[in-house]
Amino acid sequence: MSISPLRSAATHDREPVVRVRGFTRRFGDTVVLKDLDLDIAPGEFVALLGRSGSGKTTLLRTLAGLDPAPGQDVVTPAARAVVFQDARLLPWKRVWRNVALGLKGKDVRARAEAALGEVGLDHRLDVWPATLSGGESQRVSLARALIREPGLLLLDEPFAALDALTRLRMHELVLSLWRKHAPAVLLVTHDVDEAIALADRVLVLDHGQIAAEEVIALPRPREADAAFQAVRQRLLGHLGVQNLRPVAQEGALISFPSGEVVA
Amino acid sequence: MSLSTAARKPIELRLPRLSISNARWLSPVLLLLLWELGSRTGVIPPRILAAPSTVIGALWELTISGELPSNLLVSLARASVGLAIGVVAGTALALIAGLSRAGETAVDPLMQIKRTIPSLALTPLFIVWFGIGEAPKITLIAVATVFPIYLNLFSGIRGVDVRLVEAARSFGLSPAQQITQVILPGALPSFLVGLRYSMGVALLVLVVAEQINASAGLGHLINNARDFMRTDIIVVCLLVYALLGLTADLIVRTVEQRALAWRPALIKS
Ligand SMILES: Nc1ncnc2c1ncn2[C@@H]1O[C@H](COP(=O)(O)OP(=O)(O)OP(=O)(O)O)[C@@H](O)[C@H]1O
Ligand SMILES: [Mg+2]
C-alpha cells in the first residue's frame, strides 16, 4: 500500500466514470463542499470517510443526480443506482415489484427474481417489505440497485443500522456482487474498518475537500493484521482521532467496529 | 426427561367462561327487558315509547308491506349520490392542493373558509336556491362530505415520506409515475380515514335533510309516524339509521383490509 499524492487518483489508465472538478456546494451561507475534485475509475471500489456533517451525503446526492449541480463540472455515468441507509422500499409494493421499480418489459418478474436470487432472497418474492428484517431489506435494496446494471453504485452508509454479524455478511455479499457486476462503487461510511475491508481506495472528506487518500493494496479477504492496523492508524489520524489503541487483534473473528468515527 | 416435564405440565381444563363481569351483552339485554316490562305494566305509555316487542312487530309489518324497503332505497340513493359527489369533489380538490404549491394557494384558503360554516347552516339557502325536492338534500350531503375527504387526503399527500419519493426519482420514475406509484398509494390510508368520516357525516346530514318536506324516504316515514304518534315506527327508523351506519363502517373496513394489506398492523390478520 502507498499514499499516493492527492488528485492523482491512484493508477488508472482508463477514462474515469466519475469526474468532478472544482465542485462547490453551499447551503445558504455555509459552504459544505468547496472546490472538490474526485475521480473514480470504472469498476473501482472507493470508500468515503469523514466526520458527521462533513458533506459525504451531499457529495453522494450530487453524484446520484438527486441534487442538481447546474454549471458545475460533474461527469457521471447515465446508469447510476443508490442504496440508502434506510432501505426505502415502497411498503405497498411486494418485494419483487420494489426490485423491478420503474422497469418495463414482459420479463421484469423473472429479472427481479434473478436479482433477488443473487442476494439470497428469491424465496421472498411476493412478501410485503414490512415483513422483512433490516438486513433483508438492505439486500432487497441492493438487488433493486443492481438489476439496473449501474456503471456507478452509490452506497450511503447502507450497513450502519445492521448488527455486527449481519454487517460482515453484507460485506461479503457486496464484494461478491461487485466482482460479478463490476460497477464503480462509492461507499460512504463512518466505519474505518469497513472502509479498509472493502475498498480499493479510501478517501477522507474534510473541510469540503478530499483531505486524504489511502490506496489499499491488501489482498481480499482482509485480515486485521499489522498492515491493516497501519492503514487504520493513518486513516484515524486523518480523521483527527489519535492515540486509539488497536482493538482488533490479529486473527480475531470479528474486528469490532471501534474504528467508527463518532463526532 | 421429556416425559417428566410433560407430566409436570398442568393440564388445562377449558371450561366455558361464564364470568358475569365479562358479559358485555348483559346490560343491553337487561335494559331491553326493563323496557319491555315497563311497557307491559303501563309505566311507559306507548305514545312515549313503544315496547320492544311492538317495535319488532312494526318492523315486520313495514317490511312485509314494502313500505320500509322502498323508503330505505330512496334514502340510500340520496346518501350515496350526495356522498359520491362529495367524495369526487373532495378528492379532486385535495389532489390539486396536495400536488402543487399553486394549487394549495388557490384551493386551501377557500376550503378553510368553507370549514368555518357548519354545512347544516346552509340548509335555508339551499332551500331558497333549489326548492324542496331532491336537489337541496343531495347538495347538502355533498357539501358536507367534501371537507373530511379533502382534509384527510390533502394531509395524506403532504405526509408521504419524501425519502420514498426521492428513491423513486433516483430509479428514474417520471413525475407522473411518482404520483401514481408513490404519492397516491402513500396517501391511501388517510383517504380511507376521510371516507369513513364522510360516510358518518353523510348519514347525519341525511337525517336532517330528510326533515325538509320529504315525500319519500326514512325521514318521510318518521314524519308521518310523528304525526300519528307511532313511536314504534320511529324506533324502527332509528334502528335502520343505526344499521346504515354500521354497514358503512363495515364497507370501509373491508376496503381497508384489501387495499392496505401491506400495512404491518394488518399483515397478521
Ligand atoms: N438540504 C440542506 N439544507 C441545509 N443544509 C444542509 C442540507 N443538507 C445538508 N446540509 C448541511 O450540510 C452539511 C453536510 O451534510 P451531509 O448530510 O452531507 O453530511 P454527512 O457527511 O453525510 O454527515 P453524516 O455522516 O452525519 O451523514 C451539514 O452541516 C448539513 O447540516
Ligand atoms: Mg450522511
Looking at domain A8-238, its CATH architecture is 3-Layer(aba) Sandwich (3.40)
Which chain B residues are within 8 Å of A86, Cβ to Cβ?
Answer: 163
Integer Cα distance of B60 and A224 in angstroms = 85
Which chain B residues are within 8 Å of A88, Cβ to Cβ?
Answer: 163-164, 166-167
Is there an atom of ligand 1 within 6 Å of A263 CB?
Answer: no
Q: Where are the domains of chain A?
A: 8-238
Residue A34 grid coordinates: 468547496
The reported pLDDT for the residue numbered A13 is 61
- Asked if the Cβ–Cβ distance from B164 to A88 is below 8 Å, we say yes
Residue B119 grid coordinates: 354545512
Q: Where are the domains of chain B?
A: 73-268
Integer Cα distance of B134 and B140 in angstroms = 10
The reported pLDDT for the residue numbered A10 is 46
Hey, what CATH topology would domain B73-268 get?
Answer: MetI-like fold (1.10.3720)
Phi-psi region of A204 (alpha: psi -120 to 50; beta: other; left: phi over 0): beta
Ligand nearest to the CA of A208: 1
- Asked if the Cβ–Cβ distance from A102 to B173 is below 8 Å, we say yes
Residue B266: pLDDT band (50, 70, 90) is low
Integer Cα distance of A184 and A167 in angstroms = 21
Integer Cα distance of A54 and A115 in angstroms = 34
Look at residue B214 and tell me whether its pLDDT is greater than 70: yes
Look at residue B46 and tell me whether its pLDDT is greater than 80: yes
Is there an atom of ligand 1 within 6 Å of A52 CB?
Answer: yes
Q: What is the pLDDT of residues B127-165, one digit of tens each?
A: 999 998 899 999 999 999 999 999 999 999 999 999 999
Residue A206 one-letter amino acid: D
The reported pLDDT for the residue numbered A2 is 42
